Structure 1
Amino acid sequence: MASSSSRNISDLDPDVARRLFEEGATLVLLGVPQGTQLGLDCKSWQVGPRFRGVKMIPPGLHFLHYCSVNSPECGGQMGPKSGLFLTLKPREILLANWDHKTEDLDFSASKNEEEVNRIRANLRDLDPYLGPYPYEVMRKWVSLTDRLSEELAMNLQPLTGRICAFSDVIPEIEFRHTKDREDQPRNDTPCQNMKEGLERLPKMKQREGTELRFSVIPKKTYPPGATPAEITQFSMDLTYTLETVLEENHKQLPLNLLGELQFAFVCFLVGDVYEGFEHWKRLLALLCRSEEAMRKRKELYLGLIGVLYHQLGEIPPEFFVDIVSQSNFLTTTLQDFFQFATGPGMDTALRKRAEKFKAHVTKKFSWDFDVDLEDCTPVVVELPEGVSVD
């Protein structure tokens, strides 16, 4: 692990460092190849020859992520990132061995109580080979996951227990025998265009058990039997769709929807999972365009502002210009949110919090949310000198 982590731990308050040493959990990761990129939460390192794991980890929910690497003789290229959420208890030792065949961590050794006790008895001998938890990212990590419980994280991550940057796909129709493939019609004529070429490719599907288990957002935003006028109404105010999602996925704990929003964001930000970004966008659009729900679910929306405040703080302003603004997703979505949340009849506390958040986002991204809603082009605003919106 990088030497910077060792320097950071020395900057800790002695009492905090001692408490982390005594109460913190330990990840013992044996056999991880040198050069592997491995990280915990918002920090990653390149594994060195002495690496055996991470110590002094604050109890709670964490995201362990890693990329396998080829040998230097094969170019030393990084593989796709894999990761998993795990919850660590005080003084817990979680043991894993690197499986060179699957290029993955195997945690089955943690079920061997005798082996774990042996590690615990020799923990002081192992200590020089353990890197300290990057305490400087703890506050950031907590702010990005404070609504995400252990149970929710386990329910959202794939049944395989691994979150992968690239989907594991297989053909929809598997031809297990040569004869099956021979019986398929052949078309040896050249493709006339890309669309034709794509249509000739075998249809693929994601391997069962590897899918992220996000809430399904209905494509129809209106109830069965709705009149044309009601269809228009339900398409402008997505409260019906939001309530459907909450009823089917988070009936007992509606605020878990914010935890799902955080899960999707972390999968994208830390795990490099583009599907997480797409689901984050869909959830955000659903929440921001549900005017009636803002009146009924004040706590959900007060929480949403806090979640977004920390998430947008982790993204450079140019990110949305480069990736999203072809459809101006963030500007138009937040514009709708601010229009509804600061409108007549809205709860006073929510309205004030929304106005303050609007000022913050305006300053950070230099976007004007008060322009005509039909104008989808982000407008740069010049703040008068000396004016602060903090």
Structure 2
Amino acid sequence: MASGSSSGGGAVNMDPDVALRLFEEGATLVLRGVPRGTELGIDCKSWQVGPRFRGVKMIPPGLHFLHYSSVNSPSCGGEIGPKTGLFLSLKPREILLANWDPKLEDLDFSASKNEEEVSRIRATLQELDPYLGPYPYEVMRKWVSLTDRLNEEVANNLQPLCGRICAFSDVIPETEFRHTKDRAEQPRNDTACQSMREGLDRLPRMKLREGTELRFSVIPKKTYPPGATPAEITQCCMDLSYALETVLENNHELQPLNLLGELQFAFVCFLLGNVYEGFEHWKRLLALLCRSEEAMRKRKELYLGLIAVLYHQLGEIPPDFFVDIVSQSNFLTSTLQDFFQFASGPGVDSTLRKRAEKFKAHVTKKFRWDFDADLDECAPVVVELPEGVTVD
């Protein structure tokens, strides 16, 4: 992600007529009081805020991701804090106003509800123009390619209730020890631990502060239906279609393709927001989609969309990113290997099969990954049997 100093000014290398139209029709973010040195970005580009910065202008209408990190003063080392982000859906010519809260080190958008204040800013927008940085149109194509399946409704449903996506989880103790007696009953920490387990047991159990959690779809731990036979359990562990259909029914029943929007939401949270939970959910969703053979035969449009989404996402990631340091196994290689195997199987739509073959060739050339290595078909499949069921 490119970075640079932002202190306002006009759009660079842009036709004056186009710039004027964008200025008149684009949305404007007026951000007052953001400290100098703050790392602030919108979509796929960020800047280090300069002394003249008052916001961003000429923003194309639609969904955007605003992200920022506070910075300590030089006397405190100038360290950059954890990143905070939020999705914004902007309308043509909209003015969104926020003030920097130095205590919370966060943007407060409550001023946007003051219609009189917003009207005053709109009337003096020309005077404010030199202090507004132009939207980075050079990365707009990339942003659109990463979010073309993500809409305002999906983003709002997935974003935390608090309205902020934070790189570091906001956690609190599961139990509040308000009284001395309660604290006295907890394990003492003034003696040496005999084991790692003992040390972990002494730590207070923590939970996410209510309202700060990302509201991702819940992927079922059991991938088979209630009352399934051992044979059915084995089949559902090899083909995750039942689990996928459960996720779609519970979260995206009316619009199944919104699952691709959720995949993009998770990826953006990780790529631009530094949210590791986003990466983990992206991996889980991807594994679910790529290992659902029956669904691949039934849901052609979902999988054609998945190929397009992955094509752009993989363009943003170094090829060795997914390699586990310990096992040297590549999560994405093994996941896509299953996908390509199922996509070439019987009953798969010919258009989807051809698209998958082209995508396989593209990924093979770009990353030099070998998807034609022999699959270990003889490896045992470990299944979880329902309670009370035994196999002789």
Q: What is the TM-score with the length of structure 1 in the denominator? A: 0.93
**Aligned residue among 264, 283, 287 for 1:285:** 287
Asked whether the equivalents of residues 166 and 273 of structure 1 are also in contact (C-alpha less than 8 Å), the reply is: yes
**Could you tell me how far 1:197 is from its partner in structure 2?**
1.1
Is 1:98 aligned with 2:109?
no
Is 1:340 aligned with 2:339?
no
| 1:291-333 Cα distance to aligned partner (Å, 9 max, x none) | 0001110000000000000000111212223669744210110
Asked whether the equivalents of residues 39 and 48 of structure 2 are also in contact (C-alpha less than 8 Å), the reply is: yes
Relative to structure 1, is the Cα distance of residues 213 and 97 closer, same or farther in structure 2, using a 3 angstrom cutoff? same
Q: Which amino acid aligns with 1:350?
A: L
Asked whether the equivalents of residues 332 and 373 of structure 1 are also in contact (C-alpha less than 8 Å), the reply is: no
Name the counterpart of 1:297: 299
Is 1:177 aligned with 2:187?
no
Asked whether the equivalents of residues 67 and 85 of structure 2 are also in contact (C-alpha less than 8 Å), the reply is: yes
Asked whether the equivalents of residues 242 and 287 of structure 1 are also in contact (C-alpha less than 8 Å), the reply is: yes
**Aligned residue among 232, 241, 259 for 1:257:** 259
| 1:23-53 Cα distance to aligned partner (Å, 9 max, x none) | 1000000000000000000100000111000
In the alignment, the residues of structure 2 paired with residue 357 and residue 95 of structure 1 have an alpha-carbon distance, to the nearest angstrom, of: 43
Relative to structure 1, is the Cα distance of residues 200 and 5 closer, same or farther in structure 2, using a 3 angstrom cutoff? same
Name the counterpart of 1:84: 86
Secondary structure of the corresponding residue to residue 86 of structure 1: strand
- List runs of 5+ in structure 1 lacking aligned partners: 376-390
Is 1:232 aligned with 2:229?
no
Is 1:196 aligned with 2:198?
yes
Relative to structure 1, is the Cα distance of residues 187 and 50 closer, same or farther in structure 2, using a 3 angstrom cutoff? closer
Superposition CA RMSD, Å: 1.8
| 1:249-280 Cα distance to aligned partner (Å, 9 max, x none) | 00000000000000000000000000000000
Asked whether the equivalents of residues 8 and 136 of structure 1 are also in contact (C-alpha less than 8 Å), the reply is: no
Secondary structure of the corresponding residue to residue 259 of structure 2: helix
In the alignment, the residues of structure 2 paired with residue 116 and residue 36 of structure 1 have an alpha-carbon distance, to the nearest angstrom, of: 24
Name the counterpart of 2:159: 157
Name the counterpart of 1:248: 250
In the alignment, the residues of structure 1 paired with residue 9 and residue 344 of structure 2 have an alpha-carbon distance, to the nearest angstrom, of: 47
**Aligned residue among 209, 212, 236 for 1:210:** 212
Q: Which amino acid aligns with 2:227?
A: G
Q: What is the TM-score with the length of structure 2 in the denominator? A: 0.92
Secondary structure of the corresponding residue to residue 192 of structure 2: coil
**Aligned residue among 361, 368, 371 for 2:370:** 368
Name the counterpart of 2:321: 319
Name the counterpart of 1:386: none
- List runs of 5+ in structure 2 lacking aligned partners: 378-392
In the alignment, the residues of structure 1 paired with residue 5 and residue 209 of structure 2 have an alpha-carbon distance, to the nearest angstrom, of: 39
**Could you tell me how far 1:194 is from its partner in structure 2?**
2.2
In the alignment, the residues of structure 1 paired with residue 56 and residue 108 of structure 2 have an alpha-carbon distance, to the nearest angstrom, of: 16
Asked whether the equivalents of residues 5 and 132 of structure 1 are also in contact (C-alpha less than 8 Å), the reply is: no
Asked whether the equivalents of residues 8 and 135 of structure 1 are also in contact (C-alpha less than 8 Å), the reply is: no
Asked whether the equivalents of residues 38 and 48 of structure 2 are also in contact (C-alpha less than 8 Å), the reply is: yes
Asked whether the equivalents of residues 5 and 133 of structure 1 are also in contact (C-alpha less than 8 Å), the reply is: no
| 1:54-89 Cα distance to aligned partner (Å, 9 max, x none) | 000001000000001111111111110000000110
In the alignment, the residues of structure 2 paired with residue 125 and residue 322 of structure 1 have an alpha-carbon distance, to the nearest angstrom, of: 53
**Aligned residue among 64, 69, 73 for 1:62:** 64
Percent of aligned pairs with the same residue?
Answer: 84
Secondary structure of the corresponding residue to residue 96 of structure 1: strand
Name the counterpart of 2:142: 140
Name the counterpart of 1:381: none
Name the counterpart of 2:380: none
Relative to structure 1, is the Cα distance of residues 26 and 369 closer, same or farther in structure 2, using a 3 angstrom cutoff? same
Relative to structure 1, is the Cα distance of residues 5 and 295 closer, same or farther in structure 2, using a 3 angstrom cutoff? farther
**Could you tell me how far 1:190 is from its partner in structure 2?**
1.1
Relative to structure 1, is the Cα distance of residues 325 and 147 closer, same or farther in structure 2, using a 3 angstrom cutoff? farther
In the alignment, the residues of structure 2 paired with residue 308 and residue 53 of structure 1 have an alpha-carbon distance, to the nearest angstrom, of: 33
Q: Which amino acid aligns with 1:125?
A: E
In the comparison of the two structures, how many residue pairs are matched? Answer: 375
**Could you tell me how far 1:5 is from its partner in structure 2?**
9.4
Name the counterpart of 2:40: 38
In the alignment, the residues of structure 1 paired with residue 78 and residue 190 of structure 2 have an alpha-carbon distance, to the nearest angstrom, of: 38
